[in-house]
């Protein structure tokens, strides 16, 4: 059994809760952070996992007050940065939006990891919305999507809104801030060599089972053609327009990829984490063929003709079987 000590931020979320369960199953000691330890439904979920009684410690921490993460990081070898603020805290007097809060939290947490003296690797859960293959200026797509792709933030995107724009900007700029640590010859706080490595996993839209009592936002987005939820369907249209496809990954595979990054003797940098790149038409066709008795309520989709035959380059494809929500994509 492993004696590794890991910190998981955003532990009550869809990916975070799955990751906590996986790490506990591997025998790790897990320091899990939540915004509110008084939320009994979320703490009970985490405390109910096998091994939690012996090896799970809960901490209250908030991205809008990133100093609160230091007790959870202390003594850890690996820090999984899963948390991200999904909406601006209107009571904040320090930050004017989620982007400011997220980028500043990234800087603060990196300094905390250095001060710990124990952290070996920071593993960040990034978003594929930060890796659009659109060319600068928006004049079509590149011939590939890989780790060199960064979403141009100076463009207006179809089917976007204030919420989506804020999320995309926050994820893009905070990821760049974290990866910059690998480029520094020395640590930010002293003349010694940098203390740890930073890995960024650029995750596709995550589907699959859930250990939570309700469906995560990403699952609701994927199911929008069936549920008829207009806002979630708009998010699906946005992803197709931004990326030329709807990259997918199963939550179990995503968590396995996070654990893989922990297991390597040395690993740093940016890696795409996706199992497949269907377009919206593919998804609608799959729904229709797998579930012919269920009405597809929203059939609108975006066609990106230039993108249909582009090459896909995926650094972690060997880790991730093509599993679009496993049951749904099974033959």
171 in catalytic set? yes
Find the catalytic residue in 96, 171, 176, 295.
171
Task: Determine the Cα–Cα distance for residues 17 and 55; give it in Å rounded to an integer.
Answer: 15
- Residues labelled catalytic: 171
């Amino acid at each position: 059994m492993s004696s590794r000590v890991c910190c998981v931020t955003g532990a009550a979320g869809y990916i975070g809760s799955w990751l906590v369960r996986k790490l506990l199953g591997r025998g790790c000691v897990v320091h899990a952070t939540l915004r509110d330890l008084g939320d009994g439904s979320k703490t009970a979920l985490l405390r109910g996992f096998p091994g939690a009684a012996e090896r799970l410690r809960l901490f209250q921490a908030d991205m809008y007050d990133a100093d609160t993460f230091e007790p959870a990081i202390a003594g850890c070898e690996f820090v999984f940065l899963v948390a991200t603020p999904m909406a601006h805290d209107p009571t904040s007097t320090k930050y004017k939006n989620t982007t400011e809060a997220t980028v500043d939290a990234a800087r603060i947490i990196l300094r905390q990891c250095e001060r710990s003296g124990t952290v070996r690797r920071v593993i960040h859960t990034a978003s594929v919305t930060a890796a659009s293959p659109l060319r600068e200026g928006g004049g079509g797509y590149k011939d590939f999507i890989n780790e060199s792709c960064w979403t141009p933030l100076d463009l207006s995107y179809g089917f976007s809104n204030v919420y989506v724009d804020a999320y995309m900007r926050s994820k893009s700029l905070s990821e760049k801030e974290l990866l910059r640590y690998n480029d520094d010859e020395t640590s930010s706080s002293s003349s010694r060599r940098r203390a740890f490595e930073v890995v960024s996993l650029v995750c596709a839209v995550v589907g699959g089972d859930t250990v939570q009592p309700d469906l995560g936002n990403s699952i609701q987005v994927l199911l929008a053609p069936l549920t008829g939820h207009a806002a979630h369907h708009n998010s699906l249209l946005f992803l197709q327009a931004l990326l030329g496809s709807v990259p997918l990954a199963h939550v179990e595979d995503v968590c396995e990829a996070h654990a893989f990054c922990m297991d390597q003797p040395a690993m740093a940098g940016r890696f795409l984490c996706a199992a497949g790149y269907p377009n919206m038409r593919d998804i609608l066709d799959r729904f229709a063929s797998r579930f012919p008795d269920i009405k597809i309520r929203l059939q609108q989709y975006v066609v990106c003709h230039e993108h249909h035959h582009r090459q896909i380059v995926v650094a972690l494809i060997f880790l991730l079987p093509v599993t679009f929500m496993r049951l749904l994509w099974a033959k």
